[in-house]
Structure 1
Amino acid sequence: MTFQLKIYVLHVACLLSLMFICDIQAEEQNQPSESSRISNFVLRDQTGKTRSLYSEKTKASVVVFMGTECPLAKLYAQRLQEMASSTAYQNVNFYGIMSNQHDSDEDIVEYARQHEISFPLLKDLHNRVADQFAAERTPEAFLLDDEYRIRYRGRIDDQFGIGTLLKEPRSHDLKNALDELLAGKNITFPVTNAVGCIIGREPKMKPTQKITFSRDIIRIFQEKCIDCHREGQVAPFALSEYEEVKGWAGMIEEVVREGRMPPWHADPRFGEFKNDCSLEESQKQMIFDWVAAGAPEGNPADYPQENTYSTLWQLPREPDLILPITKEPVAVPATGEVKYQYYKVDPGLTEDKWLQAAEIRPGNYAVVHHILVFARDKDSKGRGAGGEEGGFLAAYVPGLIPQPFPKGMAKKIPANSELIFQVHYTPIGSPQEDLSQFALIFADPEQVTHQVMTTSATNRHFEIPPGANNHEVTAFSPRAKTDVQLLTMMPHMHLRGKSFDYEVQYPDGKKQKILSVPKYDFNWQTSYRLSEPITLPQGTRLFCTAHFDNSTENAFNPDPTSTVRWGDQTWEEMMIGYCDIVVPLDQSQATNGGLGGRADQIIARLDQNGDGHISKDETPAKWWAIFLLVDTDRNGEVTAEELEIAGKKFERD
Structure 2
Amino acid sequence: MAVRLGNRWGRSFAVSRRGLTASLIFVLAGCQGSGIGAGDVGLAPALAPTPDAALPVDAAVPGCTPAREAWDTSVKPIVERHCGTCHGEQPLYGALYSLVDYDTLFLPAAGYRGQRVVDRITARTFSQTMPPPQYARPPYEDIDAIAFWASCGVVNAVPQDGLGLVASAPVWVAPAQATAGLPSFDVRAGGHAVAPDSIDEYVCFTVEAPTDADRFVRRIEAAVDRAEIVHHLVLLRDYEHTAPDGVWPCYSMPEGSDYLYAWAPGQDAVQFPEGGLRIRAGERFVLQIHYNNAQRLPDVVDVSGVRIYHDEPVGTEYGMVAIGPLSFQVRGHAETKATGNCDISEDSTLLAGMPHMHTLGESFEQKVVHADGTETPIISLTGWSFEDQLFYNTPTTLKPGDRIETSCVFDNPGETVKAGPRTQDEMCYNFAYVTPPPSSRYCDGGGEPVSGDVVYTPSECLLPGAIEAPNQVMATFHIGERAELTGGLLIDGTYEMTAIEVHLASAALTIGELDLASSYLNARGQMQIVGGEVASDVATHVHFQMAGGPAFDGDRVSTTRGRLLESPVPAVLSLLLSCPEERASELPYRANGETVTFETVSIDAGEPIYFQGTYTRRPDGP
Greater RCO (CA < 8 Å, at least 6 residues apart): 2
Give the number of the structure whose residues are more often helix, by fraction: 1
